[in-house]
Amino acid sequence: MGNFSATDYLETKIRTGVFCRQRYFAARGKIMPINTEELLAMLACPRCLGALTAVIRREEPAGFACKVCGVVYPVREDIPIMLVEEGIPDVKWNTDNPDCPTP
């Protein structure tokens, strides 16, 4: 068995935890919203590995912001897109999403 990177570890936790539960509930016709606190405990900024803050829209996460890097990683179809190249600069996020500015 090889060594796992921090990204591999987080992806495994997400795949086996949150998303398996989403499939379980979806198969039964139930909706399981993203548990924001659980995601914040598992996720880290892919660029600096720093802590993230949830950006909330209508009581659900619209993205996860890294204050150190000044970017927001969006949530699309209830899935956080945690790729460095998908990070949106704070200024652009706040301009495009005035209803849910970064904290």
Walk me through the domains of the chain, giving residue ranges and CATH numbers: 6-96 (2.20.25.10)
* Amino acid, res. 70: G
pTM listed for this prediction: 0.68
Average pLDDT of the chain to the nearest whole number? 81
Helix (H) or strand (E) holding 75: strand 71-76
Q: Give tens-digit pLDDT for 37-87.
A: 888 888 999 999 999 999 999 888 899 999 999 999 999 988 899 999 999
Residue 52: count of CB within 10 angstroms of its CB: 24
Check whether 35 has a pLDDT greater than 70. yes
